[in-house]
């Protein structure tokens, strides 16, 4: 990754505020975000919650409008239009997201899409670009992070993960595993080993044990080839 004075991992309120402070102090700042700048607060927490609470407040106020001096027709009640309530909420979130992204750009903060990780030598490695990110049931997963974890297993020589379309979850994770010579490893043992080391949603849904990683047209191991292998009859979830 290019040199920056400070690289902030995560573009939530903590991260974007730090990036803006750094930029205003004249530092060359980068902000690594694997989903969307704004974080939990803007996309799933404070902002959407407050938009929905305000809608609830309006509904309640209509219920006793007469106490404010407004008379509704006899027997009239407010009917909730949920798609409209949600559209208003999403509109607010999108507007603030656009405003925040613009502000960061104007302050010359470089926004880098992907999952960042501190390396042993104190550098920051980007281990997954947005286009590679697997979206499993709303959770974003950098496949390289899972590949790296899998290859820490003493019986695994190589591993490659990919997202495969799934009706229920959007995508599920398939992993091709190449075990070391003589090793005996099964999916259940491997799943339990992973569950002890990472979040449940990052554990692959399907393991394909093979003699070699699937290669693409160039002859190199290729994620798209994992997805193609997974799509073959009998290999799906």
DSSP state letters, 17-64: HHHHHHHHTT--EEEEESS-TTHHHHHTSHHHHHHHHHHHHHHHHHHT
DSSP reduced 3-state for 147 = helix
Residues 116-145 that bind ligand FAD (CB under 6 A): 116-117
User: In the stretch 34-63, what mask flags binding to ligand FAD with x, by CB under 6 A?
Assistant: xx---xxx--xxx--x--------------
User: With CB under 6 A as the contact rule, which of the stretches 7-15, 99-107, 156-164, 228-236 interacts with ligand FAD?
Assistant: 7-15
Of the candidates 97, 94, 173, the residue with the CA atom closest to the CA atom of residue 135: 173
Of the candidates 202, 99, 109, 193, the residue with the CA atom closest to the CA atom of residue 147: 202
The answer to whether 128 and 144 have CB atoms below 8 angstroms apart is: yes
**Cβ count near 80 (within 10 Å):** 10
Q: Is 11 in the site for ligand FAD (CB under 6 A)?
A: yes
Position closest to ligand FAD via CB: 12
Taking the least distance from each CB to ligand FAD, the nearer of 129 and 210 is: 129
The answer to whether 12 and 44 have CB atoms below 8 angstroms apart is: no
User: With CB under 6 A as the contact rule, which of the stretches 109-117, 152-160, 192-200, 218-226 interacts with ligand FAD?
Assistant: 109-117
Crossing angle of the two packed helices 82-106 and 46-63, in degrees rounded to 10: 140
Query: Which one among 7, 15, 153, 156 touches ligand FAD, defined by CB under 6 A?
Result: 15
CA distance 158 to 126: 20
Taking the least distance from each CB to ligand FAD, the nearer of 15 and 22 is: 15
- Shortest CB 78 distance to ligand FAD, Å: 24
CA distance 70 to 87: 27
**Count of residues of this chain found to bind ligand FAD when the rule CB under 6 A is applied:** 21
Taking the least distance from each CB to ligand FAD, the nearer of 47 and 221 is: 47
- Shortest CB 125 distance to ligand FAD, Å: 10
Q: Which residues bind ligand FAD (CB under 6 A)?
A: 9-15, 32-35, 39-41, 44-46, 49, 115-117
């Amino acid at each position: 990754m290019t040199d920056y004075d400070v690289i902030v991992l995560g573009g939530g309120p903590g991260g974007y505020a730090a990036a803006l402070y750094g930029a205003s102090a004249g530092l060359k700042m980068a902000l690594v975000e694997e989903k969307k700048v704004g974080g939990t607060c803007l996309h799933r927490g404070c902002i959407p919650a407050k938009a929905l609470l305000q809608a609830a407040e309006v509904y309640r106020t209509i219920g006793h409008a007469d106490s404010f001096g407004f008379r509704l027709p006899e027997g009239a009640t407010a009917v909730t239009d949920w798609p409209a309530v949600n559209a208003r909420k999403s509109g607010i979130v999108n507007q603030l997201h656009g405003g925040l992204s613009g502000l960061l750009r104007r302050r010359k903060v470089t926004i880098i899409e992907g999952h960042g990780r501190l390396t042993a030598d104190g550098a920051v490695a980007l281990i997954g670009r947005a286009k590679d990110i697997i979206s499993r049931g709303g959770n974003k997963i950098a496949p390289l992070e899972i590949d790296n974890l899998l290859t820490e297993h003493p019986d695994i020589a190589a591993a490659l993960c990919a997202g495969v379309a799934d009706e229920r979850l959007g995508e599920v994770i398939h992993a091709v595993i190449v075990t070391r010579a003589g090793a005996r490893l099964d999916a259940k043992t491997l799943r339990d080993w992973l569950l002890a080391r990472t979040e449940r949603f990052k554990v692959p849904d399907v393991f394909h044990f093979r003699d070699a990683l699937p290669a693409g047209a160039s002859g190199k191991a290729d994620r798209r080839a994992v997805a193609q292998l997974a799509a073959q009859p009998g290999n799906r979830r």
